[in-house]
């Protein structure tokens, strides 16, 4: 009787473990998103890197949810990201976690970013042109992108491989610059898009990161209005 009881218990345990494994492996093979920042930042988080620790005021670093500048529709809002690039290498970025995907799985992401820029192409600037030297980058990764102080405590760097300025890295790739598409300093909506690959963590989560890697040694101010795309296998 006892032997029969233990056999039944083992069968139940095996069934439970099998069910847990199937549950762990479950998750969406596709995720569509279309986020417009007119009402809020929709849980996107902004930050900065590649600048000296404690120099936030000097670099005029700012991330806010504000009305768009004229001549755009000033009744609408976007995520305003601004900084003065004294280091000739300022990285300004937004990130957001996505979940409900398959754990530890490879995914592709098609992404489109819409932002307002007031900088025309082919203009001279300190250290580099204000449009072409500000590179837009994006990526999908399992590690939360974050700034981290170097071992000597002097500079903030990223904990991911974003590359440097015009070059990409393992986690982020360039998809253009911030030229506004007209021949005058006036804010216009600009679209940049690209395709990327990434891997989820053990919980079926991944991070989307977008940002600008700058070689223009002055102030850059952008208003992100929309981020949309598809994450799929």
Number of domains in the chain: 1
Q: pLDDT higher for 162 or 17?
A: 162
In a domain? residue 16 = no
Given a cut of 50, whether residue 193 has pLDDT beyond it is: yes
Given a cut of 60, whether residue 17 has pLDDT beyond it is: no
Structural element, H or E, at residue 146: none
In a domain? residue 223 = yes
pLDDT tens per residue across span 125-139: 898 999 999 999 999
In a domain? residue 119 = yes
For the segment 61-68, the average pLDDT, to the nearest whole number, is 98
Task: Note the pLDDT of residue 13.
Answer: 41
In a domain? residue 12 = no
In a domain? residue 24 = no
User: What is the CATH number for 205?
Assistant: 2.60.120.200
Q: What percentage of the chain carries pLDDT values higher than 90?
A: 86
Task: Note the pLDDT of residue 183.
Answer: 96
pLDDT tens per residue across span 213-233: 999 999 999 999 999 999 999
Domain limits at 136?
29-232
């Amino acid at each position: 009787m006892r032997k029969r009881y233990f056999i039944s218990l083992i069968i139940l345990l095996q069934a439970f473990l099998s069910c847990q494994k199937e549950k762990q492996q479950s998750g969406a093979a596709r995720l569509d998103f279309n986020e417009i920042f007119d009402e809020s930042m929709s849980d996107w988080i902004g930050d900065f890197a590649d600048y000296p620790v404690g120099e936030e005021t000097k670099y005029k670093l700012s991330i806010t949810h504000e009305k768009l500048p004229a001549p755009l529709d000033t009744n609408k809002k976007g995520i305003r990201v601004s900084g003065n690039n004294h280091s000739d290498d300022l990285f300004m970025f937004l990130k957001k976690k996505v979940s409900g995907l398959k754990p530890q799985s490879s995914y592709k992401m098609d992404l489109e970013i819409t932002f307002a820029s007031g900088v025309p192409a082919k203009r001279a600037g300190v250290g580099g042109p204000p449009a072409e030297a500000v590179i837009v980058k994006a990526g999908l990764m399992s590690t939360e992108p974050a700034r981290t102080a170097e071992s000597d405590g002097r500079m903030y760097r990223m904990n991911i491989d974003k590359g440097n300025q015009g070059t990409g890295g393992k986690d982020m790739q360039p998809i253009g610059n911030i030229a506004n598409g007209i021949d005058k300093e006036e804010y216009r909506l600009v679209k940049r898009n690209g395709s990327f690959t990434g891997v989820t963590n053990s919980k079926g989560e991944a991070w989307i990161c977008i940002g600008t890697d700058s070689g223009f040694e002055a102030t850059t101010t952008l208003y992100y209005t929309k981020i949309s795309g598809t994450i799929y296998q």
